[in-house]
Structure formats: C-alpha cells, structure tokens
Amino acid sequence: MTASRREFLQQSAAAAAAAGLASSALAHPVSAAPPIFQGDPSHKELVLRAIDAAKAAGAEYADARISSARSQNIGTRERRVTNIGDNETFGFGVRVLVGGAWGFAASSNLTPDEVTRVARQAVAQAKANRAAMVKPVQLAPIHHPPVPNGVWRSPIRIDPFTVAIEDKVAYLLEANAAAMAAGARFVNSNMFFLKDEKTFASTLGTVTQQTIFRAQPGMTVTMVSADNRDFQTRQSTDIQPKGLGYEHVLDNDMKRHAARWVEEAKQKLTAKPVEVGRYDLILHPSHLWLTIHEAIAHPTELDRAYGFEANYAGTSYLSPPEEKLGKFRMGPSFMNILADRSAPGSLSACGWDDEGVAPEDFHIVKDGIFVDYQTTREQAMWLDWWYKQNGRPTRSHGCSYAQTWADVQFQRMPNVNLMPGEQDLVWEDLIAATENGIAIIGDGSFSIDQQRYNAQFGGQLFYEVKNGRITGMLKDVAYQIRTPEFWNALDMIGGKRSYELGGAFGDGKGQPAQSNAVSHGCPPTRHKQINIINTGRTA
Amino acid sequence: MSTPKSLREAIPAGALLSRAEAQAIVERVVKMSRADSINVSLGTNYNTNVRFADNQMSTAGSVVDAGVAVQSSFGPKHAVVTTNDLSEESLRRCVQQSEVLARLAPDDPEAMPELEPQRYVDVNGYMDTTANIGAAERAQAALTALAPARKAGDIKAAGFLVAGAGCGALGNSKGMFAYHRSTSVNYTLTVRTTDGTGSGWAGADHPDWKQIDFEKVSTRAIDKARSSRNPAAVEPGRYTVILEPQAVGDLAQLISGYADARLADEGRSPFAKTGGGNKVGEKIVDSRVTLFSDPADAQLLAQPFDGEGLPIARQVWVENGMLKQLQYSRFWAKKQGKAPTGGTTSLKMEGGSASIDEMIRSTQRGILVTRLWYLREVDPRTILYTGLTRDGTFLIEEGRISRAIRNLRFNESPLFMLNNLEMLGAAERLAGTEAGGAVVMPAIKVRDFNFTSLSEAV
C-alpha cells in the first residue's frame, strides 16, 4: 500500500463528499480545535490517589481508571414507544503488578477511603496470585513520553444527550409510519447512544481524560405470508453503528430507507430457495465486515494464539507465532490488513488505550503474508524475538481495553480493516465480471469454531448473479468456509471509492465476559467457488 | 435482618443489602416520586474471580456494584432511568430524570397498571459457605487444575472461577415488594494437550461452594483432553448422537427465547400455527420430553419473581411432548384473556434413567458430544441453529467409544433434536449457561442429528 492510513482516509472523505454521500461518516470534517474534557475534574485527584495507595501497598506498577458512562436506549414498534431508558454507570478500577503477578479490584463507591481500600485489595489479590505464578509479567516500554495531561474526544457534531427525547421519538415513529405506509406487517426501530468519560492514570506519569461517543440507529421490518407459513425480516444493516454523535442518526434518515427495506422483506417471502453448490461470492462491505471480524481479527489476537482464551473465546489457527509470522499466506498479494484506532467515526477510536498507550496503525497482513498480532504492553514482550528479527522496537500496538470501570483491561481488537485494491472497482463492477455467482448484502447469521477455521455466514439479502447481471433474489442461503482457503479464493477487490466501515458493539471475549465495540473497514470482494448450503427446513 | 458478622470479612460493607435495607431504599425512592406511579428495581452484588491459562494465573479481580432502575408513569406515559450510584442525591436525580422523560414520552396504549402486593414462594439460594470464601481458597481451587497440569507436562490448563453474592429487590407505590438474595459459584476448565491435538472441558455450577467438587471437574477435563488426542475425520452427515447434559442445554435452552405468545400469535415464531393462532396444545417433540421452570426446585434455586414483580412458580412449558404454555406478558395476557406467566429465571428438562454408558452400549455407530460452541440462529421459523462440537468429540462403534474424532459443524434445531429422542439420562445442573440463570438438563441419545461440515479446530 502506498498511501498512509491518514492520507487514505482523507482521500476517501473527499471522494465520498464528491459523490454526494452525505451519509458517509468519513465525509464529516473533524474539528481542528483541541478537545476539552468536560467530565468531573476531581477524578484526576482520585486516580492519582489510587496509584499512590497501590504503590504504598507494594505495587511495582499500577494504573487506575474512573469511568462515568451514560447510555440511552429508545425502542418502538409500529405506532408505539416500547421503552425509553437512560442508564448511568459510574465507578473505578485499579490494576496492579506485584512481584510480576496481576491484581485488580473495582468499586462503584467513589470516595477517597474506598479508593484506598480498593487499591490495597488489588495488591492483596496480586499477592495471593503469586502463589500460582510461573513467569512474572514484564511490560514493554511505551514508545512515547508520559502524557501528564492528555485529552481526547470522539469527533462528534451533536452530543446525543443534548437532543430532546421528543425529537428522537418523533424520528423513530415517522420512520415506522413510512414502513407501515409501504406495507410492513411489523416494524421495530430503536436508537442507542453512549457517552463514556474516562480518566486514567498510571505510575509511569501518564494521566489522560477521554470522552468516547457511540451511536446506533436501527430498524427491523417483518413480513408474514398470507397463510402464516413463512415470515421474513430485513434489518437495517446498511446503517452501521459508529463512534459518532446524533449526526449519525440525522445523516442516515431511516424514513427515507424504510419503504425499500419493506420491499426487500416482501421479496424475501417469494424468493427462490438457493440450490446447494459452489458459487463465486460477491460480498458487500455491509456483510464482509463481519467475516473479517471473525476470520481475521479474532485469530490475530496474540492472547488467543498463546492459549490464554482457551477456556472461553478459543485459540487460533495462527499459532504458534514462530511458525506463522512472516510465513503464513493469508491471501493473494493484493490483500492487506491494516489495524487502527484512529479512523474518525470508528468504534474503537481513542487517543490512548486503557493502559495509557497511544495506539498506532499497523499491518497484520502485508502483501498477503501474515506479519503481526494485536498486542498490549504485556503481550508485546512475547514477540520480542520477532520485532528484533525485523529491526522493529518491541512495543504495544495499543490494544488494551476494558468494557467498563468494573472490568480488568486486556487485549481487545482495534479496527481491523481490509484495505482497498489499486484498481477503481465498485460493487457493480464485481457483479458485471461474474458469470455464476451469489451477491450478499448485509450481515446475518455467523458462527465460527474456536480456532477460527470453519465458519458459516448468512446475510440479509442474497441475489443470483448470471452472466454479469443480478437475475433475482434467493433465500435460505449460507456459505461454509475454511478460513485460509476463503481468503486465498479472493480474486477481485473494490477500490478506495467502495470502502465502507461496518461494525458492532457486542464483541465478546474474556472471563468474566466483556463486550468490545469495533469497526471494520473494507471494500466489496469476490471469492471464487465457495460452498453454499440451503438452510430452509420445515417444522 | 442484619448481615451476619462473618460475612463482613469477605464482603465489603454495603455490597449486599438485607431485606430491610433494600426495602428502606425502595420506600425512600417511592416517597421521592411525584409521578402517578413509580416502580423501583434495586440490586447489589459482590463478585470475585480468578482466571488462569497456560498453566499459570492470568488475572484475578473483585467487583462491588449496585444498580437501581426507576420507572415513573404519568397515566399511560412512562420511562426508565437506571444508575449504579445509590447515594441519596443520585437516587433523587434518577427519580426526577425518569419523571422528565416520562412526561415527554407519548401515550403507551399497552401500559399496564402497577402490580398489587404479590405472594412469592420462598427460595433459599444464599449460602454462607460461598459468601465467606476468600482469595486464598479461590487460588487453592485453581490449583486443583494447575498442579496436576504442571506436574504432568503433556497438558495445559485454562480455567475460570467466579464466586459471588448478590440481591435483587422490587417495589412500587402500591406497596408491592419483592426481595431475593443469592450466592453463586461457577467453575469451568479447558485442558489442552501440548501436542495441540487434544482438548477437554468440564465445569460445575451451584449456589453452594461446598457442592462444587473442584478435583472432579479438573480430573474430568484432563481425561477428556488426553482421550481426545489425534482425532480422525469422519464424513459429515446424519448421525445417532449422544449429547452430554451441557450439549443438550446448549441447544434446548434456546427454546425459551422463542416461547413468547405474542410473537406466535403474530405469525412470526416457530410456534405460530398455519392459518393463524399458536401451537399451544399441539405435540411438538417426543412424548418423553417435559420442560419447565421452577425457582424452588432443589437443582435450580432461582429468583421467584420476574423483572416486573410477577411471582414465578412452577410453570410447565412442554409436558410429555405437548406445547403446554407460552410466555404471556401482562398486556398480551389481558388482550387474549389468558393469565400472565411472567418471565423465566430457570429451565429444567425432566431426566430419565439411562446412563451415558448404557447409551453408548446400545449404539452401533454414533457420536458422543461433550459440548457445543458458537451457536447462532440460522432460521427463526424452525429454531434452526448452527454451531460446532468442541472439547471432546468421540466416535462410537459397536457399543463402545472407538476413537476421538474431529469437531463437526451442525445445522440443527432443538425441536428436531427432541423429536428424534431415543434415550434420556439423569438431569444435572449446567455450568456453561452463557445467558446466565439456572439450567438443568439430562444427557440424551438422538437419531439423525445433522452435521454439515468438518472442522480442524482442536
């Protein structure tokens, strides 16, 4: 890839704006003014108190996080508001390293005394864990000097919590009315917003304050056949969750799309059941992001490769690292996977990760070859040999994250993106070039084994492609793949103009299980001769 | 009722509310209300955990948290505000904010009046034996897996142990009040062989720390890992399958997610009837299958009320293969002239008398499955799910386990599976319930289980 990540995003934004795609998150100009933290200034004193208490109790390293997160959820069906809910969660967590063993404690009671008690409890936890320790934890150095007053804020235009509830309700009910007018049998719609104010300090001298926003509007239209034998839904997967504010809702007016979603749900009722066999698959970005998430992003988490997730999320086919790094061919030479936590509007964007590291953009796959894993400070040390071999410094990629104050931070994926190809191809070009294929739009069912080899994916809409044209809609379609073969069957890829961000809030990993929010950017792709099954059965 | 002194050693002050403390908070919040009515839901919990992998401790933690949800209503307008801060100032803000939002909400044509005071069955799910354990005992429990694994050299252990205590309480302006406190212990262990070809899983779950046999769980996972080494590939297809209780639960507990009466009556459920209405009263699975919820069942010990405060007593969903009941919300029950069922906090399938050994002995050719993984809905019309076997999958030939086999992907519905029932074993409490809640399931033997592809994953 020739362009840097940032240049690429700027070009994409310009292209999107030129094409009149006001809905693209990339089209929003990012304010150049330095952000100001509007959270509680006393939090800074309390995180410093926590790390001092931990040090006094014997910790060789400590970090503390205070988070005040507010979320709002509004749900409707047809002409009715089913729920309006505001949720606040507030508390702090302290993580310590004592004699090479981790301890963590957290509490929702944010008083100076409780901060001290929790810091000491974390140290006691770490001391208890030393009994079963084999290798002491070592942390990689941070590639930048300590940041004593770091401030970062999601690049939003409208804080969702300043928008009146009546306006939000009216937006959803108008969208529902548009769906009902178009003949929807049932329609559900909702919007969800998050604002998380996080204050962090570590014994290395870093203190950061960040305000993270996320927004997700959504709709599901359901159609039922006249005889009650069949029902089909269409979810609004063309509107993806973003790390944005209320402008994301306004820029994606569901009212304008509702009639089309109804029409598509109707078509699904009478669509032709797919014939099993091998087809060339053309995958839209609104679908492909999830395949990237499951089959590339998860197996390149370094803790999985070393077995640390064996009891829950699983391990990885990209293991052991010494046999895979620099050697394993993920796909064709035009396949590049770049990770970032910088794309404006993406769900994992931040200024610093949850151990005070400024994330960097990094290649996971370069020219088709697997070259790096996602890491934290602890994990980067495990790949010391690889970075030395390549003349690169051993340092974290900034992938530490905890879902709330109550959870210990660990390695979570950044945005993991499939970069566009050199040729200026778009979705229609891939269809025009395909003789016998199936085109899939929107994400649906997804399942993958614990080492990320065998996967099965559904979708929202499936189209039969014959001789370069869409010839009709199909139903009951799922594809089953073996991951390495699937990416090596990639033979066409869209260009910059066709690159889009998809993503999700509910990415689970860890015990206790934690949710991560992450985006995946990609252009459309074509994969040769993929196994299609028919999932329709009758009760 | 005050908290026993012994608990203070393990549980930080204020982390677990007694009935009187919870009731005092609920009543205080109700008094703050200026709305026509108010519903208050309150919970606190204290959880501690240890996690280990690669034969060493990885993380440990303890968390104190609380939550309160306030729903204010003005006639048919209502809204909910929640917070985890139980301070006076925060509770007042929460009430005021819910009133502000409720006034802005449009009229809800389905709004239901507040519940009158209810009677609940008495369930004791709180064990001092769990509440009192500390960091050293948890680390000791982890060593039941770590010590043999380190000594053996051919295996790696990864596990998670979480123990906690918590309470939930509900109240409203009509004087309804419900309170339940509970403890929980959940231990799961995955053991992998260092040659990378074998993996075994075992787990245990109970409110009572003393009921968890850590040694037994560890031994079982280690044995499974070693016996699953060097798996052979078998052709995907339809097989007679013996599913251990965890694997049965992985699929069978999905049924409750589809048991809503309204969705069935609206024609968008597997329990919708062709031509209209729902399938209550129809035979849907083998006549030996009975599925029910019962908070007071000795194996379940669950909360005896749902999120609205409706009492949950024994409720049979499937009786001798017949769909006996669907879940009715208060609104839908009123509209359809039925009784509301409340939500569920537990699920149990009645067991039979066959042992897993007997099931194996009676099988000419089949597959034994330890557990299932990454189950996702493929078709809501039939509860068709896809997923894979994991951590111990074996071929049965001529009445005995002949060898370990590679994992398989299935596309199968719990309804089809329970129609193809051949044998039923004893029901046991499951450790691997991702959605939470108490689940008790038997081992079963079924025919024609649909495997659609092979996986190389170990």
Q: Is the pLDDT of residue A12 over 50?
A: no
Q: What is the pLDDT of residue A36?
A: 72
Q: What is the pLDDT of residue B10?
A: 58
Inform me whether the C-beta atom of residue B416 falls under 8 Å from chain A C-beta atoms: yes
Report the greatest alpha carbon distance in chain B. Answer: 73
Bridge partners (DSSP) of residue B52 are B57, B159
A·B CB contacts under 8 A: 265
Q: Name residues whose C-beta falls within 8 Å of residue A236's C-beta, 6 or more positions apart in sequence.
A: A217, A218, A219, A220, A254, A257, A261
3-state secondary structure of A174: helix
Q: What is the pLDDT of residue A41?
A: 80
**CA atoms of B415 and B251, how far apart (whole Å):** 9
**CA atoms of A152 and A350, how far apart (whole Å):** 7
Q: What is the pLDDT of residue B172?
A: 97
Residues in chain A: 539
Give me the amino acid identity at A289: W
Inform me whether the C-beta atom of residue B81 falls under 8 Å from chain A C-beta atoms: yes
Q: How far is A469 from chain B (nearest CA, A)?
A: 27
Cβ within 8 Å, pair A458-B378: yes
CA B432 to chain centre: 8
Phi, psi of B208 (to 5 degrees): -105, 115
With residue A365 as reference, give the H or E element that holds it: strand A362-366
Q: Is the pLDDT of residue B3 over 70?
A: no
Find the closest chain B residue to A447 by CA distance: B374
> Which of B 242-281 lie inside 8 A of A, CB atoms?
266-268, 270, 272-276
Question: What is the DSSP annotation of A448-507?
Answer: E-TTS-EEEE--SEEEEEETTEEEEEEESEEEEEEHHHHHHTEEEE--GGG-EEEEEEEE
Q: Name residues whose C-beta falls within 8 Å of residue B120's C-beta, 6 or more positions apart in sequence.
A: B178, B304, B305, B311
Cβ within 8 Å, pair B374-A449: yes
Q: Please, are residues B251 and B386 in contact by the beta-carbon 8 Å criterion?
A: no
Quick one: tokens of B404? Answer: 């370990």
Q: What is the pLDDT of residue A31?
A: 41
Q: How far is B402 from chain A (nearest CA, A)?
A: 24
Q: Please, are residues A228 and A75 in contact by the beta-carbon 8 Å criterion?
A: no
Quick one: tokens of B153? Answer: 């050299």
The average confidence (pLDDT) of chain B is 93
Confidence of residue B65 (pLDDT cuts 50, 70, 90): confident
Confidence of residue A25 (pLDDT cuts 50, 70, 90): very low
Q: Is the pLDDT of residue B240 over 90?
A: yes
Average pLDDT over residues B250-268: 95
Find the closest chain B residue to A110 by CA distance: B85
Q: What is the pLDDT of residue A539?
A: 57
Q: Please give the CATH number for the structural domain made up of B5-224.
A: 3.30.2290.10
Q: What is the pLDDT of residue B136?
A: 81
Angle at A481 between CA A232 and CA A240, to 5 degrees: 50
Confidence of residue B1 (pLDDT cuts 50, 70, 90): very low
| Residues of A with Cβ-Cβ distance to B411 under 8 angstroms | 456, 478, 533, 535
Domain ranges of chain B: 5-224, 231-458
**CA atoms of B28 and A116, how far apart (whole Å):** 30
Angle at A504 between CA B372 and CA A328, to 5 degrees: 70
* Strands in A275-336 per DSSP E: 277-283
Q: What is the pLDDT of residue B139?
A: 84
Average pLDDT over residues B293-315: 95
Confidence of residue B432 (pLDDT cuts 50, 70, 90): confident
Bridge partners (DSSP) of residue A508 are A515
Q: What is the pLDDT of residue B330?
A: 96
Inform me whether the C-beta atom of residue A229 falls under 8 Å from chain B C-beta atoms: yes
Q: By percentage, how much of chain B surpasses pLDDT 70?
A: 96
| Residues of B with Cβ-Cβ distance to A96 under 8 angstroms | none
| Residues of B with Cβ-Cβ distance to A91 under 8 angstroms | 65, 84
**CA atoms of B31 and B22, how far apart (whole Å):** 14
Alpha helices in B228-355 (DSSP H): 245-252, 261-265, 330-336
Angle at A504 between CA A502 and CA A510, to 5 degrees: 135
Q: In a mutagenesis test of the A interface, which of B42, B68, B108, B378 is the best target, namely the one with the most A β-carbons within 10 Å?
A: B378
3-state secondary structure of B350: coil
Residues in chain B: 458
**CA atoms of A244 and A232, how far apart (whole Å):** 31
| CATH superfamily ID and name for A34-270 | PmbA/TldD superfamily (3.30.2290.10)
**B136-165 pLDDT, tens digit each:** 888 889 999 999 999 999 999 999 999 999
| Residues of B with Cβ-Cβ distance to A483 under 8 angstroms | none
Q: By percentage, how much of chain B surpasses pLDDT 90?
A: 87
Torsion on CA atoms B262, B265, B269, B275, rounded to nearest 10: 180
Q: By percentage, how much of chain A surpasses pLDDT 70?
A: 93
Q: How far is B214 from chain A (nearest CA, A)?
A: 16
Strands B346-349 and B438-454: parallel
Inform me whether the C-beta atom of residue B194 falls under 8 Å from chain A C-beta atoms: no
Q: Is the pLDDT of residue A130 over 90?
A: no
Q: Name residues whose C-beta falls within 8 Å of residue B115's C-beta, 6 or more positions apart in sequence.
A: B172, B174, B176, B308, B309, B310
Q: What is the pLDDT of residue B2?
A: 36
More confident residue, A28 or B91: B91
Find the closest chain B residue to A306 by CA distance: B54
Domain ranges of chain A: 34-270, 277-534
Cβ within 8 Å, pair B84-A108: yes
Q: Please, are residues B162 and B19 in contact by the beta-carbon 8 Å criterion?
A: no
**B379-399 pLDDT, tens digit each:** 999 999 999 999 999 999 999
**A292-351 pLDDT, tens digit each:** 999 999 999 999 999 999 999 999 999 999 999 999 999 999 999 999 999 999 999 999
